[in-house]
Amino acid sequence: MNALPQEGPAIDGAFLRRWLDAATQAVDREADHLTELDSPIGDADHGANMRRGFLAARTAVEQEPPDTPGAVLVAVGRQLISTVGGASGPLYGTLLRRAGKELGDEPVVTAARLRDALRAGVDGVAQLGGAAPGDKTMLDALLPALDALTGALDAGGSTAQALAAAATAADEGAEATTPLRARKGRASYLGERSVGHRDPGATSAALLVTALADTAREASA
Amino acid sequence: MNALPQEGPAIDGAFLRRWLDAATQAVDREADHLTELDSPIGDADHGANMRRGFLAARTAVEQEPPDTPGAVLVAVGRQLISTVGGASGPLYGTLLRRAGKELGDEPVVTAARLRDALRAGVDGVAQLGGAAPGDKTMLDALLPALDALTGALDAGGSTAQALAAAATAADEGAEATTPLRARKGRASYLGERSVGHRDPGATSAALLVTALADTAREASA
Amino acid sequence: MKMLINVPETVVADALRGIAAAHPELTVDVEHRVIVRKGAPYEGKVGLVSGGGSGHEPLHGGFVGRGMLDAACPGEVFTSPVPDQMSRAAAAVDSGAGVLFIVKNYTGDVLNFDMAAELAEDEGVQVAKVVVDDDVAVTDSTYTAGRRGTGATLFVEKLAGAAAEEGAPLDRVAGVARRVNEASRSFGVALTACSTPSKGGPTFDLPEGELELGVGIHGEPGRERRAMMTSGEIADVSVEAVVEDLKPDAPVLLLVNGMGGTPLLELYGFAAEVHRSLAERRISVARTLVGNYVTSLDMAGSSVTICQADEELLRLWDAPVSTPALRWGC
Amino acid sequence: MKMLINVPETVVADALRGIAAAHPELTVDVEHRVIVRKGAPYEGKVGLVSGGGSGHEPLHGGFVGRGMLDAACPGEVFTSPVPDQMSRAAAAVDSGAGVLFIVKNYTGDVLNFDMAAELAEDEGVQVAKVVVDDDVAVTDSTYTAGRRGTGATLFVEKLAGAAAEEGAPLDRVAGVARRVNEASRSFGVALTACSTPSKGGPTFDLPEGELELGVGIHGEPGRERRAMMTSGEIADVSVEAVVEDLKPDAPVLLLVNGMGGTPLLELYGFAAEVHRSLAERRISVARTLVGNYVTSLDMAGSSVTICQADEELLRLWDAPVSTPALRWGC
Ligand SMILES: Nc1ncnc2c1ncn2[C@@H]1O[C@H](COP(=O)(O)OP(=O)(O)O)[C@@H](O)[C@H]1O
Ligand SMILES: Nc1ncnc2c1ncn2[C@@H]1O[C@H](COP(=O)(O)OP(=O)(O)O)[C@@H](O)[C@H]1O
Ligand SMILES: [Mg+2]
Ligand SMILES: [Mg+2]
Ligand SMILES: [Mg+2]
Ligand SMILES: [Mg+2]
């Protein structure tokens, strides 16, 4: 007797501010792990970078809370760009700014609208960084997440269910970067030696998607 | 039935050249140990210094062998001064040059004459370095050695026996530097922390005296 | 790993306060992380702006001054600076003659400088950009982020800086910078990994008997691990790598660079072997610079950079320079 | 411990070949181990000769040139040079105006320079000698070899060098040197031991959580071992030690010196704390120099040296100097 698909929570400014909170906590908690991952195939700073960026973003958003979902994403994106640096700053910043702009000033959006906005943001990442799927980057977590999100929504899943599916796909995508050889970013300098290590950016991307799923679950609980 | 004191070997140029050979071998063999001793209370170079100096001295003496005992000691002293550096170079160099000058150009000398010459050399070390007995320096091996040498000769011991007694006294003197607090040289900077370490210079001094004893023993055997 | 720091979070800000205290000839904006040459903008002079992650000192802040950079933007350790820093620096040094961004080729640096260029242009500053990519250890540029920018950055900053000081217009200054980059090659070797404040320990582990060939300057491992070699062997491998790739047919500028943890005594000995190795390949050296200039925190190791020089580049090299880390002729 | 060397026995000779290759403005006698300023002796100018064990680079060879030393004599690593080197150097730089020996206060250095002075005087060279002993970590000078010569050596060489360049006679140059030494104090801290080529590993062991206060520059342990401190705390201990002893009542020259293994990024942060600590004690700083100048191979750590300056010393400090490691005003 499986539960009937039920309508999810309203995706409004408050929802995304809760997401920012969850994401910041997750990044802060996992920072050392992310930096660990960035050591063998990078320069050991990804955790510090993400923590710095999200703490700044949360502070900014708390000081003057934007009220539309789009405004929240744009504000977070701007903060990441102006506080993170490195490769991940402009990339995540672009993702969120593009997605936020896409949502315009609608006070409440559907899961499908959010999905489309995130799709636009991820396209922005691909454009800016020039990476393709399988290059061992954050895209390898983001793209599967988008596909899972789409699939679950098309199958009539609730927002919470769809985002949960996206989180799972992002995790699997991040996990699947381990055997890959990096073709973009610092890890690419290692050539074959990049094989066997999990990509830090794909791992942080999964954290952000998981935070989205958690926010939806708690909202609909 | 103790053996009667027998006259020792002739102390001539050849004798001191054999001593140089034995001393060089001993220093070369013990170099790493001397450097080890110089690490905790010095600058970890005494073994390298002594090896460099004695290898140079042996080469020089081999190239044009001086034929009097005095000439050999002066030649070795000069080489040490111009190749060792550090504190030990001028000090050992002065010891041997003074002693050699003291012997003048006599072709063969008695143990008593050698003793007096070495006494003059050791006085030179005390003068130049300004160290007193118990300051945890090479003097703490050299002075006991001279006293033992004197005592044994006065007691009618043979050259070999007297030098053997000197070697034993030098070893004991070096060993006895361990509990001392250094008042001269690098080790003095450590103050109380110099206690509990054997002095490298006293240790190398004992090696040189022992080489003298070995040379006499082999000669009289 | 012990470090002479307060807390990892303030390492860059603390260093900036120290630079401000030690160098009255520089204007240091600790809050916005921009180091500017006093008196900038200089009338009619093209402004040179560089920057990158911290941990490579004296690069870049130590190269701000007459005849070299007008401003430097330090990021967090091994993390490229953010766009706001470079756009702020551009505004501070632009006299109207335009600004050249000198960017080491790393994804992060390129992306952040690009965004900064957009911001600066929005504010009416004319910006040209040169990307330095001299590291021959990165072999296939198609399946990587491309060659890294390392030691040649010093040559680009010095020579383009001298051109700007002579009053050359933006396109010529940028032209010199590109020409220098194209004429330069580098190869780095690590005897130890470095330790970053945020990680608190070595970024990778390198056993006693081994070294890494072809390392970058961010504590990342190199392309190949080998059994420990002598100074002469390391010189031969390094020289072979850069000469093989550049095939110089004129005298070169030579930088024998220390990664930070290698004593100057050893570095000079290595420089002797590099000269020997170049001479064996019939390559003459016009100028030699030996020292820790493009470092990787406390990493022990070295890099060799050569730049094929012509008359103009030699003149620009010898031109007066007065910065904290490079100074002559004035 | 991995080193960028061929074999320990040739480390000093290899470095001298490298110095020769990198510095055409110096004459390097590799066989006799003397580094001389090109063009010496300079008519009527007092010659300055210094030297000491190797492993402290750029001291002393990096300070040979206009406005500083005329010659330097490098010994083996941490081993004072031999008399023949200094007497040879004296002969090479004496114009008839006499030669000043600048000697760091270590038994070995003092004995060898003394013997060299005898040799030089035998050859008719007038020799004056100044012994540098600025290290306040050596507390009782009666029961020790006396205070060690460390960072103040740079001040003595720079300021006496400037006086000689101005044409001051031997007694005045020696007078300046002594005055500078008396007005200077230093205190050093080690976070790690250094490794000498001959030993092949650390000269003492210093566990992760601890540091050594009051270290010299020869890899010897200090006077006291403490639990690891922050940069600010180390600055306070160092500043307290030198100020307490010198009690300066005029602006000071400040050297924030790296022991070799500490990254410049950290050293500048430490310099900020030293300035803060001096300001808290109402001591104003006239000039600041930050960098690795008087090193102990790869030792991580720092030393602080202050020199109370008067008008004349400030003028001599600002006077032109052109050496491999210290250069300004020309
Ligand atoms: N060109 C690119 N496209 C997409 N993602 C990239 C690209 N380059 C790097 N990344 C991501 O950025 C992560 C590294 O981020 P971070 O360590 O913060 O920056 P940096 O590499 O500059 O130190 C990588 O793990 C990877 O997932
Ligand atoms: N003033 C002195 N008088 C006598 N012997 C001394 C004096 N100073 C040092 N020594 C001896 O020299 C030894 C150190 O020699 P060495 O390590 O070769 O020179 P350095 O101390 O210059 O490195 C010490 O162990 C000590 O025995
Ligand atoms: Mg990174
Ligand atoms: Mg010693
Ligand atoms: Mg980075
Ligand atoms: Mg020594």
Q: What is the DSSP string of A40-80?
A: HHS-S-HHHHHHHHHHHHHHHHHHS--SSHHHHHHHHHHHH
By the CB criterion, residues less than 5 angstroms from ion ligand 4 are B 38, 42-43, 45-46
Q: Say if the Cβ atoms of A186 and C220 lie within 8 Å.
A: yes
User: Which residue of chain C has the CA closest to A130?
Assistant: C145
Q: State in Å: Cα A40 to ligand 5 middle.
A: 13
Answer whether residue C230 shows pLDDT above 60.
yes
Residue C108 beta carbon below 6 angstroms from any ligand 1 atom: yes
User: Which one is catalytic: C23, C32, C56, C60?
Assistant: C56
Q: How far is C321 from chain A (nearest CA, A)?
A: 30
Answer whether residue A2 shows pLDDT above 50.
no
CATH code of the domain made up of B11-220? 1.25.40.340
pLDDT-derived band at D221 (thresholds 50, 70, 90) equals: confident
Q: What is the mean pLDDT of residues C15-22?
A: 98
Q: Is C284 at the interface with chain A, CB within 8 A? A: no
Q: What is the pLDDT of residues D137-182, one digit of tens each?
A: 988 767 788 999 999 999 999 999 999 999 999 999 999 999 999 9
Q: State in Å: Cα A200 to ligand 1 middle.
A: 8
Answer whether residue C181 shows pLDDT above 70.
yes
For A62-159, strand residue ranges (E) read 108-109
Q: What is the pLDDT of residues D113-129, one digit of tens each?
A: 999 999 999 999 999 99
Strand-pairing partners, residue C47, are C99
- Looking at residue A7, what is its pLDDT? 61
pLDDT-derived band at D50 (thresholds 50, 70, 90) equals: very high
Active-site residue flag, C56: yes
- Looking at residue B1, what is its pLDDT? 36
Q: Say if the Cβ atoms of B189 and D106 lie within 8 Å.
A: no
- Dig out the tokens for C196 from the structure: 């970053």
Half-sphere exposure of residue B207: CA atoms within 13 angstroms, side-chain side: 25
Only one residue has tokens 């490229």, namely C80
- Looking at residue A3, what is its pLDDT? 40
3-state secondary structure of D167: coil
**Are the CB atoms for C152 and C102 separated by under 8 Å?**
no
Q: What is the DSSP letter of D201?
A: S
Answer whether residue A221 shows pLDDT above 80.
no
Q: Say if the Cβ atoms of D111 and B190 lie within 8 Å.
A: no
Which atom of ligand 2 lies closest to the CA of D108? 22
Q: What is the longest distance spanned by two Cα atoms in chain D?
A: 55
- Dig out the tokens for C170 from the structure: 């933006």
Long-range pairs of A164-167 with CB within 8 A, sequence gap ≥ 24: A164/A213, A164/A216, A164/A217, A166/A209, A166/A212, A166/A213, A167/A206, A167/A209, A167/A210, A167/A212, A167/A213, A167/A214
Q: State in Å: Cα C80 to ligand 5 middle.
A: 6
Burial readout D30-55 (b: 16 or more C-beta within 10 A, e: otherwise):
beebbbbbeebbbeebbbbbbbbbbb
Q: What is the pLDDT of residues D287-303, one digit of tens each?
A: 999 999 999 999 999 99
pLDDT-derived band at A5 (thresholds 50, 70, 90) equals: very low
3-state secondary structure of C330: coil
Answer whether residue A203 shows pLDDT above 70.
yes
To test ligand 2's pocket by mutation, which of B54, B186, B208 has the most ligand atoms within 8 angstroms of CB? Answer: B186
As a whole number of angstroms, the distance between CA C101 and CA D68 comes to 38
Long-range pairs of A120-123 with CB within 8 A, sequence gap ≥ 24: A121/A94, A121/A95, A121/A96, A121/A97, A122/A95, A122/A146, A123/A98
- Looking at residue B2, what is its pLDDT? 39
- Dig out the tokens for B215 from the structure: 């040379």
Q: Which ligand is nearest to the CA of A50?
A: 1
ipTM summary value: 0.94
Q: Say if the Cβ atoms of D15 and C265 lie within 8 Å.
A: yes
What is the count of residue pairs from C and D with beta carbons less than 8 Å apart?
A: 192
Q: Which ligand is nearest to the CA of A200?
A: 1
Range of lowest pLDDT (A52-61, B8-17, C97-106): B8-17
Q: What is the mean pLDDT of residues D179-193?
A: 97
Residue B76 beta carbon below 6 angstroms from any ligand 2 atom: no
Which atom of ligand 2 lies closest to the CA of B130? 1
Q: What is the pLDDT of residues C115-146, one digit of tens each?
A: 999 999 999 999 999 999 999 998 876 778 89
User: Which residue of chain D has the CA closest to C288?
Assistant: D22
**Are the CB atoms for C252 and C306 separated by under 8 Å?**
yes
Atom 25 (ligand 1) nearest CA: A201
Residue D146 beta carbon below 6 angstroms from any ligand 2 atom: no
- Looking at residue D39, what is its pLDDT? 97
Q: What are phi and psi of C64, to 5 degrees?
A: -90, 125
CA dihedral A85→A90→A92→A98, nearest 10 degrees, is: 150
- Looking at residue C330, what is its pLDDT? 77
User: Which residue of chain D has the CA closest to B32?
Assistant: D199
Answer whether residue A1 shows pLDDT above 70.
no
Q: What is the pLDDT of residues C183-210, one digit of tens each?
A: 999 999 999 999 999 888 898 889 999 9
Q: What is the mean pLDDT of residues C44-48?
A: 98
To test ligand 1's pocket by mutation, which of A138, A180, A197, A199 has the most ligand atoms within 8 angstroms of CB? Answer: A138
Q: Say if the Cβ atoms of C18 and D275 lie within 8 Å.
A: yes
Answer whether residue C113 shows pLDDT above 50.
yes
Q: What is the mean pLDDT of residues C93-106?
A: 98
Q: Is C21 at the interface with chain D, CB within 8 A? A: yes
Judging contact as 3 or more Cβ pairs under 8 Å, the answer for C and B is no
Radius of gyration of chain B (CA): 16
User: Which residue of chain C has the CA closest to A135?
Assistant: C143
**Are the CB atoms for D54 and D85 separated by under 8 Å?**
no
Active-site residue flag, C32: no
Give me the tens of pLDDT residue by residue for chain B, a chain 221 residues long: 334 444 678 999 999 999 999 999 999 999 999 999 999 999 999 999 999 999 999 999 999 999 999 999 999 999 999 999 999 999 999 999 999 999 999 999 999 999 999 999 999 999 999 999 999 999 999 999 999 999 999 999 999 999 999 999 999 999 999 999 999 999 999 888 999 999 999 999 999 999 999 999 998 87
More confident position, A40 or D278: D278
pLDDT-derived band at A111 (thresholds 50, 70, 90) equals: very high
Answer whether residue A6 shows pLDDT above 50.
no
User: Which one is catalytic: D23, D32, D56, D60?
Assistant: D56
For chain C, strand residue ranges (E) read 26-29, 34-37, 47-54, 71-77, 99-104, 127-132, 184-190, 210-213, 224-227, 252-258, 285-291, 301-308, 321-322, 327-328
Residue B137 beta carbon below 6 angstroms from any ligand 2 atom: yes
